[in-house]
Structure 1
Amino acid sequence: MPVIAEPGLRPVRMGDTRVSVSRRDDGTIYLRSGETPDDYPRAITDKLDYWAEHTPDQVFLADRDSSGAWQTRTYRQTRQEVRQLAQYLLNHDLSVDRPVLILSGNSLAHGLLALAAMYVGIPYAPVSPAYSLISKDFAKLRHVCELLEPGLVFVEDGAKYAKALSAVVPAHTPVLVVENGVAEFAVDTFSNALATDVTDAVDQANARVGEDTIAKFLFTSGSTGMPKAVINTQRMICFNQMMLRHTLAFLQDEPPVMLDWLPWNHTAGGNHNFGIALYNGGSFYIDQGKPTPDGIFETVRNLCEISPTMYFNVPKGFEMLVQHLQENPVLRDSFFRRLKLMQYAGAGLSQYVWDNLERIALDTIGEKIVMVTGYGSTETAPFAFTTTWAVDQAASVGLPAVGLDVKLVPNGEKLEVRLRGPSITPGYWKQPDKTRESFDDEGYYLIGDALKFVDPDNIERGFLFDGRVCEDFKLSTGTWVHVAAIRANIADTFAPYVRDAVLTGLNENHIGALLFADFVACRKLCPDLPDGASERDIATHPLVLAHFQQKLNELASKATGSAQLVARAILLDRSPDLDAHEVTDKGSINQRAVLTSRADKVADLYREPVPEHVMIAQKGN
């Protein structure tokens, strides 16, 4: 298999992603990997049994306890506790029609309970804690409960979740907690569940698990309405992990060591990352840090103690980590010591973050670390595309992984990508209409994105992400505006002061932008503000507005025509609202919802005379 061993890069063994190509007269292009899929297990928990037999004393899961010490579970210990919890779940007569609902975030208890459910063929659904702890109306959580009708609900701390439970969960539903009960519910403790005696029923139920057994329901982010429950079968998860092990061939050489915060209620954290550790006999250290100004300090503390062999994060997480890597030599030495690969997902990585990571690695170990990005979705389990070579541009998504069929369909000026294979979901739970809408007549999943060739004459150079096919729009002149490219330019030009941007201009004469500030970063532009200053205070401060005007002018100077020129912009004075569906719980901006909920601001971008709070781009200034 090929090894990335370019000058200045730490060598890493990767798999082959050669593809075959065929074309139809209507412009449709079909792609398929030239590699043969490897064998894979019938259930992901077969890997738990395997490693418990072959490397029983290897640490599998670790999390910090209340004292700050790492509490660990070896593969042997994990298997024992999973079987005890599996018996507990069987005793509650749970099933696909009465699944387990997990409301809390990543933890040892969460991981053990999830594995226990899958071990005996009981689906579970990890749900974003934001639906319980941040939402005020609990609308999304209520939708989830009504759709799934759970037979058991798990929360770490009953007191924290009491209000949400009382609002949406039927009083007869059993609730499992690590600590603190909830008055009106029949509550049991996690320690009591772990004391359950295992019977032959566990092995009998495990034997009935097959490739089509539903392992879990993962909810979409709700960026286009209420979240949909994506069916994740054992085949999807196991085939996807085989694809990963085949493509990231270094996983075959030694068990990975991972430190990760990405939430398990999303496919990247719960399927991709957690699955990599389990499938390959690795160690997974749960990072309770977050890519926030306060949360990043916990991540830094953990990375000073745990040296990962591969590291995943969202672009904002890498951006925050870079700041600490520059200042903390202990962190630099620990982070880069064994690192073979970094991967980002969820949004585009700013070039300045990419460049700084490479520079710091060179200064620390004399080598750069390979950076890749994956491409996929909740419906694809999620791994679908990746690069297996070193790239130097953030939009590269590489080539399709082994076992995946890809169809590229002309759609306006773009190539819409569609996917088919064993790792693709069979559909959405109890929503047959949504399932039918999501597949074409050849069975390809309509992911809704566009890709473009890096080099149309050389398929081996892979693809670039080309935005959502539904986001692009035309100006009144009939000129197409490609939203993804402009948002990426805004992110690079305004970094680190802009969180995201929503573009406007459908049937208008010019492009407008609603800018969501990174208020923590912007706060540094106005040191004269008192502590406790509001978002509005920051967004309307003259120094902040002057800086944004300067950057808007800089952005305008790069534009080559009306389809690239952001002519007017408004710096919004409040963060996106979860309950208004403006932002998903993973931080992605819902463009459509923002345009609806802030229609007055959109109108301001096109008023004459121009309102005072609207910035006008000035080229050459």
Structure 2
Amino acid sequence: MKNENLFCALQTAFLARPDGIAIETEDGLGYTWNDLERATAMLANLLESLQLPAGSRVAAHTDKSVEALMLYLATLRAGLVYLPLNTAYQRAELEYFLNDAQPGVVVCASRNLPWVRELADAAGVAHVYTLDADRTGTLLEQAARQGDRHAPARRRADDLAAILYTSGTTGRSKGAMLTHGNLLSNALTLKDYWDWQPGDVLIHALPIFHVHGLFVASHGALLNGSKMLWLSKFEPRAVIERLPRATVFMGVPTLYVRLLAEPGLTREACARMRLFISGSAPLLIETFREWQARTGHTILERYGMSETVMLTSNPCRAADGERIGGTVGKPLPGVGVRVVDDAGQPCPVGEIGHVQVRGPNVFKGYWRMPEKTAEEFTADGWFRTGDVGRFDERGYLTIVGRSKDLIISGGYNVYPAEIEGHLNEMPGVAESAVVGVPHADFGEGVIAIVVPRPGAQLDEAEMIARLKQQIANYKVPKRIFFEPELPRNAMGKVQKNLLREQHRALFVS
């Protein structure tokens, strides 16, 4: 059988240019492609020496480092299943993940070893290693004793490669099972659609516990044999300093906002850049336009999920169309996307409905949750994303929000993104979030949380009066609260569940 291990496709780049620099760190350290080949071989040999059962999980609760990326690649190489865990997770969260995933190996930062080992022992984890951002730890010490040659494990396209836990804002977190075929098909599609070119250089400033940084960014550069300028964390001036030596940057909207706050972001600084990509959270149209004006570049916005990797994208090549702000573009080649009503019937152009998808990139299901998996797929095999959106006449998709964020007030459906769009256009408003909270008369009452621009003086009554001239009365927030910032998770998504909880007693005693 053909070996369809994702690592084999990525390894092609390692073998093609062994002495070239693959990754350059912020402290000037350079890793060659041969370094990646040898190091992943040694780590894979270490994992294989543990004689773990087939399909064992390798959990990584580590700071971002090149060695952490190597651990991911070595896990693929050894034919095991990678389980990235956000370093912000605390004891109770990690306890749940270890008991649910039951990994054979846990790798953590040395500073967390005492409590992680305690949890690992309780969960029956056989092997615990440390790995720190300064290239120290027991993982590397043990791997250094292994040989630097390794034949990648044979895997089929439908064999499991990684498990990514969803945020769990409604109920307990679910482990999305992604296969070698899911990840490779998406990487190959994006390589072509985003027009990766010889000589492209990626600024990698994203975390690597999430789809965006671990799969979309890393796979893109590795598959293309492109150098990565590696930052352990996002720092706007460090990114701007590297723009003249790069061609591709991927970020979440928050990163673009922070870059725009820097005077060093100029057209001259971006002159060599080819592509700026945004995702993981909605990009404000104001940010989109300000970026165009400041840099001369049009941000490419795309849409994906932990369960599906990338689904849609605005065009990269001019021949494929223009990039439309406020949309996430068209379905990627080979990916099916449809918008349906509550009865499952296709929605007309411009009508909001439920977004459903299918394709080789769509996950295998939720880890040890067969009932939940079955519930999330339609009878004809489409995955229910939980997002609501609409197609325009050009075939571009706009995501309106999450179905769980839908507000039903007095029997009417209220989509927060529509109201947020009006609020964000008001003078002095930096951004906003609209949520529904319990209301004795209406079931849910609409409220808004608004972040003013620096120095702006906003008036709640004036804003409500203005909204009443723009939208139906049932959509108008009953209250507007002003806050210095909105709560966000590590990937920049607004945590509306926290806002709902904060204001849940507003209209009920």
What residue in structure 2 maps to residue 381 of structure 1?
309
CA gap 1:227/1:62 in 2 versus in 1, 3 angstroms: farther
1:562 aligned to 2:506?
no
Letter of the 2:178 partner, please give it. N
> Distance between the aligned counterparts of 1:461 and 1:101, measured in 2?
40
Q: CA deviation at 1:379?
A: 0.8
Alignment counterpart, residue 170 of structure 1, candidates 121, 125, 141: 121
Alignment counterpart, residue 236 of structure 1, candidates 164, 167, 182: 182
Q: Percent identity?
A: 20
The runs of 5 or more residues in structure 2 that have no matched partner are: 344-350
Q: Does structure 1 conserve the Cα–Cα contact (< 8 Å) formed by 2:429 and 2:450?
A: no
Aligned runs of 1:535-574 on 2, under 5 Å?
546-547=457-458, 549=460, 552-553=463-464, 556=467, 559-571=470-482
What residue in structure 2 maps to residue 588 of structure 1?
493
1:482-535 CA distance string (max 9 Å, x none): 222223333444776546443447762995325275xxx87x54xxxxxxxxxx
CA gap 1:508/1:89 in 2 versus in 1, 3 angstroms: same
Q: Does structure 2 conserve the Cα–Cα contact (< 8 Å) formed by 1:42 and 1:234?
A: yes
1:327-350 CA distance string (max 9 Å, x none): 22xx53674122122121133222
What residue in structure 1 maps to residue 270 of structure 2?
336
> Distance between the aligned counterparts of 1:105 and 1:568, measured in 2?
41
Q: CA deviation at 1:287?
A: 2.0
Q: Bigger shift: 223-232 or 54-63?
A: 54-63
SS at 1:450's partner residue? strand
CA RMSD of aligned residues (A): 3.1
What residue in structure 2 maps to residue 143 of structure 1?
96
1:402 aligned to 2:358?
no
Alignment counterpart, residue 418 of structure 1, candidates 345, 351, 356: 356
1:370-416 CA distance string (max 9 Å, x none): 32211121111234443455656532122111112233322386322
1:211 aligned to 2:169?
no
What residue in structure 1 maps to residue 229 of structure 2?
285
What residue in structure 2 maps to residue 272 of structure 1?
216
1:70 aligned to 2:36?
no
- Mark the structure with the bigger radius of gyration: 1
Q: Does structure 2 conserve the Cα–Cα contact (< 8 Å) formed by 1:230 and 1:429?
A: yes
Q: Does structure 2 conserve the Cα–Cα contact (< 8 Å) formed by 1:63 and 1:285?
A: yes
What residue in structure 2 maps to residue 194 of structure 1?
144
Q: Does structure 1 conserve the Cα–Cα contact (< 8 Å) formed by 2:161 and 2:180?
A: yes
Q: CA deviation at 1:439?
A: 0.6
1:484 aligned to 2:412?
no
1:355 aligned to 2:289?
yes
1:185-231 CA distance string (max 9 Å, x none): xx8241431331246xx32xx24222122111111122222221111
What residue in structure 1 maps to residue 73 of structure 2?
115
Q: CA deviation at 1:163?
A: 5.4
CA gap 1:257/1:198 in 2 versus in 1, 3 angstroms: closer
Q: Does structure 1 conserve the Cα–Cα contact (< 8 Å) formed by 2:284 and 2:326?
A: no
What residue in structure 1 maps to residue 17 of structure 2?
55
SS at 1:397's partner residue? coil
Q: Does structure 1 conserve the Cα–Cα contact (< 8 Å) formed by 2:120 and 2:128?
A: no
Alignment coverage as a number of residue pairs: 492
Higher relative contact order (CA 8 A, sep 6+): 1
1:414-447 CA distance string (max 9 Å, x none): 3222111111001011111211111111111111
Q: CA deviation at 1:584?
A: 4.0
Letter of the 1:94 partner, please give it. L
> Distance between the aligned counterparts of 1:334 and 1:210, measured in 2?
47
SS at 2:47's partner residue? helix
Q: Does structure 1 conserve the Cα–Cα contact (< 8 Å) formed by 2:59 and 2:105?
A: yes
What residue in structure 2 maps to residue 31 of structure 1?
none
> Distance between the aligned counterparts of 1:370 and 1:497, measured in 2?
21
1:112-164 CA distance string (max 9 Å, x none): 111001012011111011103xxxxx222111100111222112x312x2354
CA gap 1:558/1:377 in 2 versus in 1, 3 angstroms: farther
> Distance between the aligned counterparts of 1:334 and 1:85, measured in 2?
42
1:599 aligned to 2:504?
yes
> Distance between the aligned counterparts of 1:487 and 1:431, measured in 2?
35
SS at 2:138's partner residue? strand
Q: Does structure 2 conserve the Cα–Cα contact (< 8 Å) formed by 1:152 and 1:173?
A: yes
SS at 1:169's partner residue? helix
What residue in structure 1 maps to residue 347 of structure 2?
none
> Distance between the aligned counterparts of 1:211 and 1:494, measured in 2?
52
Q: Does structure 2 conserve the Cα–Cα contact (< 8 Å) formed by 1:258 and 1:277?
A: yes
Alignment counterpart, residue 443 of structure 1, candidates 352, 369, 381: 381
SS at 2:340's partner residue? strand
> Distance between the aligned counterparts of 2:121 and 2:313, measured in 1?
42
Letter of the 2:167 partner, please give it. S
1:157-196 CA distance string (max 9 Å, x none): 312x23541552216643222359xxxxxx8241431331
SS at 1:265's partner residue? coil
1:213-267 CA distance string (max 9 Å, x none): 211111112222222111111100000012112312x21x324311122222111
Q: Does structure 2 conserve the Cα–Cα contact (< 8 Å) formed by 1:62 and 1:285?
A: yes
> Distance between the aligned counterparts of 1:602 and 1:490, measured in 2?
22
> Distance between the aligned counterparts of 1:564 and 1:141, measured in 2?
40
SS at 1:599's partner residue? coil
Q: Does structure 2 conserve the Cα–Cα contact (< 8 Å) formed by 1:96 and 1:123?
A: no
TM-score normalised by length of structure 1: 0.72
What residue in structure 2 maps to residue 22 of structure 1?
none
CA gap 1:194/1:589 in 2 versus in 1, 3 angstroms: same
Alignment counterpart, residue 158 of structure 1, candidates 110, 117, 138: 110
> Distance between the aligned counterparts of 2:434 and 2:478, measured in 1?
14
Letter of the 1:599 partner, please give it. R
SS at 1:223's partner residue? coil
CA gap 1:491/1:191 in 2 versus in 1, 3 angstroms: farther
> Distance between the aligned counterparts of 2:204 and 2:469, measured in 1?
37
